Amino acid sequence: MEEIKKNMLRKRAEMLPVVTEEMWDKVNSNNKAIMEEYFESNQQLSPDTQIQYNSALRQFFWWAYMRCSNIPLYEIKKSQFIKYRSMLISHGLSSSGLAMKKSAVSSLCNFIENVYAEENKLYEHFKNFTRGLPAVTKNTVYEKIKITEEEYHDMINVLEEQEDYLGMAWLSCAFNVGARRGEIVQFKTEMLTYGHQLNSKGEEQKYTFSHIVRGKGAGRDGKSLKFMINDDAIKYMLLWVEKRGYEHEQIFTVRYANEYHQLSREWANSFCDNKLSPILGRRITPHIFKASAITFLLEQGHDMKTVSKHIAHHENVATTQIYDLRSDDEERDGLF
């Protein structure tokens, strides 16, 4: 099999050691209690963010156990947090990984300042020690290489030869719709019967709207989204539903333990690693598809504002610009 290019710009950091329950038992009881209080009181975090923050805070408090004599949070100083961040930098953590871990600690500190300090004298003079730190130099581990329309069709053709109808349905949604992996798996079979959207003149358009899907956002409800589903995506989803041979409320399902379940996000990771990456000969992840969908539409001449509003579902066009992977060769070559 052809070697898969990793598209790496720098060496990826090794995973930090998992804080086991045996390790966690040794952590300062005050720190464990304030962390528990924080999660019980904070319902603005999405389920995914809760998981990330829980892991990040356990890592931080284990570091405090190892390097700061297990002192309580109210005794930790800014200089000590800088040492913690320096340890993460030395470990090779990416700037985005550092930002997430800082955000977890900062969110906890804000909770203490704004809520908890009023009820606990130990924290009455507590200040968020993550504020005012020097910025971390932004870095990138993997180069973002867009998936072109030609490459999309190449992948579809290979999957069709393999009779991987589920894979074709997922791929068509990821490339055409611009939905994230956690949004795609929410698509219900009923939306395949909605029919094309009509414009103000009653003319049939080449897309349908999805039902309301939970998008990325704060809280358990996240952001309510309706996606534009084009004919190509509808075609392959219909094909999958026809071929799978059973009825189910959800489109994207797999059989497990004699029952059918909605696809997990891990399925998408495995599918990209084991099916799509070998086809294109380079590292493909679920995250590259949103950027590819946005880039493809921009290359077709659609303006950034329209794509940002209706496809990317971003509140700020500047966010959509981050997803723009168009080549600047022609623009650059015209300078001289």
* Catalytic residue numbers, as ranges: 180, 216, 287, 313, 323
Distance of alpha carbon 313 from alpha carbon 307, whole angstroms:
8
CB atoms inside a 10 Å sphere around CB 125:
8
124 CA to centre of own chain: 37
